[in-house]
């Protein structure tokens, strides 16, 4: 591991912040897709709720 210089830690902090922004954007996009899927009844193929479908399809727990 490289020595902990100020510039090394700054770059590490920048990378963390950038990745966090990407995760936030991906989460927002995922929620938009789920909202659309739910509104259009995409889960209504044998599941009682969108939450049940999400649990089955992608492992999300309500």
- Cβ atoms of residues 23 and 33 within 8 Å: no
Q: In the 8-state DSSP scheme, what is residue 29?
A: H
Tell whether 1 is covered by a domain.
Answer: no
Total tally of structural domains belonging to the chain? 1
Distance CA 9, CA 16 (A): 10
Q: Find the domain containing 53 and state its range.
A: 6-58
Query: Hey, how many other C-beta atoms are within 10 angstroms of the C-beta on 43?
Result: 19
pLDDT in tens, 1-56: 667 899 999 999 999 999 999 999 999 999 999 999 999 999 999 999 999 999 99
Supply the pTM of this predicted model: 0.81
Q: In whole angstroms, what is the distance from residue 18 CA to residue 27 CA?
A: 14
């Amino acid at each position: 591991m490289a020595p902990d210089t100020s510039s090394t830690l700054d770059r590490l902090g920048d990378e963390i912040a950038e990745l966090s922004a990407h995760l936030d954007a991906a989460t927002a996009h995922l929620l938009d897709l789920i909202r659309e899927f739910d509104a259009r009844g995409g889960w209504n193929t044998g599941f009682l709720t969108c939450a049940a479908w999400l649990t089955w399809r992608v492992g999300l727990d309500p």
